Amino acid sequence: MKKIVTIGSITVVAAILLTYFFFKPELLHYFGRPNGAIVLGEKEEVQKTLSDVKSKISAQENYTLKESKINDKKVLFLSKTTAEALNKRGLMNTVKRVKGPKGLEIEKLITLPAVPTGKGILFAREDLKEGATKSVESEQKLITEYKGDTIIGEGSRFPGENSYVMVSDDIFASIKAPEKQLTVLLADVENGKSLIKLSDTIDYINASLKPWK
């Protein structure tokens, strides 16, 4: 009987180990340990950076954004298709001001607001709303509707206190601004951020990503 129990225990341990090694990224996510990263930068620089650690990347998706600068702040334009894909991954989050030591609360965005015909949706911090609205209208001839402070990622925003403008795919194609590559990745390490080396052309933030389907 003891021998049977021992063999059974070994089988269970082996099954756990196999599950861990074959599904490690997903398990890390479910245990609340970040195993992903969001990388934003020049296309060539992002690709070069990720090629150096490709053996550690278990899955990735690439998106094109456009970047405009307002003084020392950034406005990132994203198409509705890209916004929907990021939100499906659980990466669009709303920042709310609350009472307490932290003063902030991050909530998953359940549904993206509808994009009005010929307009854009502005996501920005309250104190950046007016400046971003005027600049986008002046530079891109685009009127926006403000829909709160929504960011890409969790717990942090890209450097520069960015604002985001979501537009229809057609309007996105007409936006005159430099293109940036945004890559969402899952890694077979506990902290995807530790894989990426920050440079002048790379911005990134941590994110605890949903398992790939």
What is the SS3 string spanning 145-210?
A: EECCCEEECCCCCCCCCCEEEEECHHHHHHCCCCEEEEEEEEECCCCHHHHCCCCCCEEEEEECCC
Domain that holds residue 117: 33-207
Number of domains in the chain: 1
What is this structure's pTM? 0.77
Let me know if residue 99 belongs to a domain: yes
When pLDDT is averaged across residues 78-88 and rounded to a whole number, the result is 95
Q: CB-side exposure of 194: number of CA atoms within 13 Å? A: 8
CB 86 within 8 A of CB 92: yes
Establish if 9 belongs to a structural domain. no
Range of lowest pLDDT (6-15, 72-81, 128-137, 138-147)? 6-15
Please state, in angstroms and rounded to a whole number, the distance separating the CA atoms of residues 35 and 128: 31
Tell me which of 189 and 126 has the higher pLDDT.
126
Tell me which range, 53-57, 92-96, 127-131, is most confidently predicted by mean pLDDT.
127-131
**CATH number for the domain that contains residue 196:** 2.40.40.60
Confidence of residue 207 (pLDDT cuts 50, 70, 90): low
Q: Give a yes or no: residue 16 inside a domain.
A: no
How far apart CA 55 and CA 187 sit, in angstroms, is 9
> 117: pLDDT confidence band, cut at 50, 70 and 90?
very high
Is 12 part of any domain?
no
Q: Is residue 19 part of a domain?
A: no
Positive or negative: CA dihedral 84, 200, 134, 125: positive
